[in-house]
Amino acid sequence: MIIKNLQGQNKKKKAVERFKNRIPLPNMLDRKQLDIQIIDTALRAMYNEGDKVPRSLQQDILAPNKIKISERDADRIWDVMMSTGLVNSVIGFGNAGKMTLTNEGYQLMSQYGSYSAFLEERRRQQMGQGMVFPQFIIEQQQPEQKDAEDADGGEGAEKAVGAKS
């Protein structure tokens, strides 16, 4: 009985040691971060080609980069990219599901290098700006001006239409 207890404790110690020596798994990215990486890859693929040849998201961009996503996620990414205004869908025979970069897309890629760098710069600007409260400057009237306005009837005194002063 004592030997079994010692063996059981020994197994527990070995299991604990195995867990201590394990290499930690990388943190899993959330959906938004994955979307940003996929959009980065798509924009980079279209920008690096340099020509305005229409590219298919699934066949020409995701498959060569060994990115596997469901059709539903591909449609969602497509919608996000179209709503940003960085890409246009191509209309025409044999071009279903293809897109090209817009002028804004080329400008973003040449200025920032990637979509994630653009988002980071925009976030940094918003953080640096912080909350700005409007400042109102109210000047106090001099006592002599106030007395003079009261004697004249004030600047804001209403006059009848057609009345002569």
Are 69 and 77 a contacting pair, CB within 8 Å?
yes
The first and second tokens of residue 12, run together, are 């527990």
Helix, strand or coil, per DSSP, at residue 101 = strand
Domain at 31-117: CATH architecture:
Orthogonal Bundle (1.10)
Per-residue confidence at 140, pLDDT binned at 50, 70, 90?
A: low
pLDDT tens-digit readout, 7-61: 556 777 777 777 777 766 666 668 888 888 999 998 888 888 766 778 888 888 8
Q: What single-letter DSSP state applies at residue 98?
A: E
Q: Are strands 55-56 and 98-101 parallel, antiparallel or unpaired?
A: antiparallel
pLDDT tens-digit readout, 93-137: 877 778 888 889 889 888 998 888 998 998 888 887 655 555 556
